[in-house]
Amino acid sequence: MAAGLELVRAMLRDSGAWCRLEAEGAFTVHVGWDQYLYVGSSRPCEAALARTRSLGLFPERLDTSPYDFAPDGPLRVQRPADADFWARLHWAVSAHRATFLEETYAANASRWHRLTRDNIEAVRSQLTPRAQLAVWPDLLTDVDAAMGSLPEEGLVEVLWEDEDGRITSMVVDETQFEAVTSQITSARAAGVVSLATDERHPLFTAVLPDSDGVLRARWQTEPTPSDRGWAFLKTLRRGQVVTGTVTTIASFGVTFVDIGGFTAMINIPELSWRPINHPSDVVSVGQEITAEVLDVDMVRERVPLSLRAVQEDPWPQVAQRIGQVVTGPVTKIVPFGVFVRIEDREDGFEGLVHTSELNESSENDIEVGDALTVKIIDVDIARRRIALSHTQARTTRPGGGSKGGSA
């Protein structure tokens, strides 16, 4: 109660900080920007109204407070600082993508923490309950370049780190730019953060839940792309079938797919059951595809897809061909044998003729492109491998029987 009263006094004095005070829908206190006080109660409060009037004030009944929390839209979800958030933060710090944690415990009142892999839990234990957290990249070591990003006018937050590692932040406007610039000439790193919601670009944000894991704090903030991605990932599950549009085919072979505003990826082996040389053999940019979600990685915020998972697996049919004799082109020569395509199509399956299954007289004369008659002697569906024999094909009729024997 004492802390709540002091917060109300601070807001009425227009000290900059601002927050909503609420008790589980039973009691609320909101201080307006115009210093109007909005008090809500789930119980009749006639005695309080009488006391207010006796003090010479003029209470007025309202249906709602203009400062009631109202999300921007029905799909707006605040991201909790849960186990997934802390796992992602550990990963981001270890990958040198994040360095600072901004802890906002009331509107316009915050603290900054430098993060390392070793101090994240210590910082976490000192955070204010229900605080909003924002994760930022490192400051610029070129202090002059950092201060060169100051706007011509307007409020900004200037953040700097001194030689002893102490972090200081100050909200200033154009009348104070020169003074603060001279103040931080000896800093080892600095940065300028806009106070405008649409110009603040942290890596990702979250809000601290209460000790029981329930998120009760209400912050009206602009979600980052990562926050929007997190909200979308919460709607996905492994095995789910999604539809998307191919946006990019990377030079290293990964295909990127837009699945409703989030970019998922398909690795080459998941594009087709059949052998391909490049993703463009199967998909093209702008093509709409249907694929299966293989995993939802909340830490790295990645979603691998499989195009082949929604297609019939042809390998069981290939296994039924064991014993058949076929003729196909040699596609590759390796030290332990040769590969032969056993289907008359560009993406046909290939099998290995081990050197032990090659005719000694022709082993050294075989070249890529030569037609070779082989027998399918084994199909390993689990390992996706086909074993062929040239020597057994020479003693087997095309129908599958051996010379001198029955089919």
Domain range annotation of the chain: 2-54, 83-220, 236-310, 315-394
Domains 236-310 and 315-394 share a fold: yes
Residue type at position 203 = L
Mean pLDDT, consecutive 10-residue segments, the chain of 407 residues?
81 73 82 81 87 89 79 64 94 91 86 93 94 93 92 91 90 92 92 84 92 82 84 93 95 91 94 91 95 95 95 94 94 94 92 90 82 95 94 69 36
Q: In whole angstroms, what is the distance from residue 150 CA to residue 183 CA? A: 15
Cα angle for residues 72, 295, 244 (degrees, 5° grid): 60
In the prediction, which pLDDT does 144 show? 92
In the prediction, which pLDDT does 71 show? 60
For 143-193, how does the pLDDT look when each residue is reduced to its tens digit (9 = 90+)? 999 999 999 988 899 999 998 888 999 989 999 999 999 999 899 999 999
In the prediction, which pLDDT does 245 show? 96
Q: In whole angstroms, what is the distance from residue 353 CA to residue 355 CA? A: 6
Count other Cβ atoms within 10 Å, centred on residue 181: 18
Q: In whole angstroms, what is the distance from residue 190 CA to residue 167 CA? A: 9
Looking at domain 315-394, its CATH superfamily turns out to be Nucleic acid-binding proteins (2.40.50.140)
Q: In whole angstroms, what is the distance from residue 131 CA to residue 102 CA? A: 10
In the prediction, which pLDDT does 82 show? 93
In the prediction, which pLDDT does 75 show? 47
In the prediction, which pLDDT does 396 show? 61
Q: In whole angstroms, what is the distance from residue 376 CA to residue 95 CA? A: 49
In the prediction, which pLDDT does 402 show? 40
Q: Is residue 246 within 8 Å of 283, Cβ to Cβ?
A: yes
Count other Cβ atoms within 10 Å, centred on residue 64: 9
Domain with residues 236-310, CATH architecture: Beta Barrel (2.40)
In the prediction, which pLDDT does 16 show? 65
pTM of the predicted protein model: 0.71
In the prediction, which pLDDT does 109 show? 82
Q: In whole angstroms, what is the distance from residue 213 CA to residue 211 CA? A: 5
